[in-house]
Amino acid sequence: MAAVVEGAPAITRVAVVGANGSMGRLVLSILDETDGFELFAGIGSADPLDAMVGADLVVDFTLPQVSPTVVDFAISHGLPIVVGTSGWSTERISRLVRPIDEAGIGALFIPNFSVGSVLATHFAALGARYFDSIEIVEAHHAGKVDSPSGTAVRTAELIGAARAELGPVSAPHVDQRARGQQVASVPVHSLRLSGLLAKQQVIFGGVGETLTITHDTYSPDSYRSGIRLALAAATSARGVIVGLDSLLGLSAPAALLSDGEIADGAPSGQAAATTP
């Protein structure tokens, strides 16, 4: 159970892991212009993780294959952490609940820092009980290495949780490779194209109608308010918090279902494999 307690430091010293990446640089800019925070260490891929020791808070914007090592290091050293790296499913996060609780820290796993994206995902979960046919199309810039995106995985998991009593979505012919990757029974289709930043569509099919919930990201500036919100909550939080939902006062479905993280090389058109 996550909670927020009193006693956060007056000035929060932040270690940013992945400081040389685009999101890392955005965090550096936010720290520079936000009262109550200062940069403790900007850590790149060639720097030792020991550089974060002594910080009040760690922010992780690395790669899916690197992030677990960063998170494990932060937990073992009692450092609160905000994780913005993609690749964290509900199942993977659930394995960290006990060590995070035992460390007495807060760990925020945020698939998307855009308030608009979080609201779109929330709306999708609300609609999940009223349609049996649901699919997700997510599109990102060509440099994004992981797929499906963390936002798409989170959206599918919330849809699955909202339908816990109704069962899986209707997804015919998912044995075909072109039918996407199933997450919590929801087919997810990923595009990686030049000229894009981020876009997600959740498409609901009913009798004689369709409903599409679309969110477009045109600039990384859309993440600023969410990053500030996470920074403000992180040092006083305890336990695991997933998504900006609770920080915005949005309630998630009671049961969270997950088919797990996508394993490298998992075939398209089949259910997502679970990463150890």
Q: Is residue 144 annotated as part of the catalytic site, yes or no?
A: yes
Nearest residue to 180 via CA among 156, 213, 154: 156
Tell me what pLDDT residue 254 has.
60
Q: Is 150 annotated as a binding residue?
A: yes
Listing from the earlier edge strand, what are the strands of the sheet with 133-140?
181-183, 186-192, 133-140, 198-206, 209-217
Segments of the chain with pLDDT less than 70: 1-9, 252-276
- Are 12 and 231 contacting, i.e. CB atoms less than 8 angstroms apart? yes
Asked whether residue 84 is marked as a ligand-binding residue, the answer is: yes
How many secondary structure helices (H) and strands (E) does the chain include?
Answer: 7, 12
In a domain, residue 271? The reply is no
19 is in an annotated binding site: yes
Note whether residue 275 is domain-resident: no
Nearest to 62 by CA among 22, 120, 100, 90: 22
pLDDT at 148: 95
Is 20 annotated in some ligand binding site? yes
Residue 128: which domain range? 115-217
224/53 Cα distance (integer angstroms): 26
Identify whether 186 is part of a domain: yes
The pLDDT assigned to 6 comes to 56
Give the domain CATH number at 195.
3.30.360.10
Q: Is the pTM of this model over 0.75?
A: yes
Q: Active site residue: 77, 122, 144, 189, which one? A: 144
Is the residue at 167 inside a domain? yes
Instruction: Determine if residue 18 is labeled as part of a ligand binding site.
Output: yes
To the query of whether residue 140 is one of the catalytic residues in this protein, the response is: yes
In a domain, 259, yes or no: no
178: region left, alpha or beta (phi > 0 left; psi from -120 to 50 alpha): alpha
- Catalytic choice (140, 189, 199, 215): 140
Pick from 186, 49, 204: nearest CA to 124: 204
Both 90 and 123 in one domain: the answer is: no
CATH code: domain of residue 75: 3.40.50.720
In the chain, the number of structural domains is: 2
pLDDT tens column, 176-217? 999 999 999 999 999 999 999 999 999 999 999 999 999 999
Report the pLDDT value the prediction gives residue 3, as an integer from 0 to 100.
Answer: 56
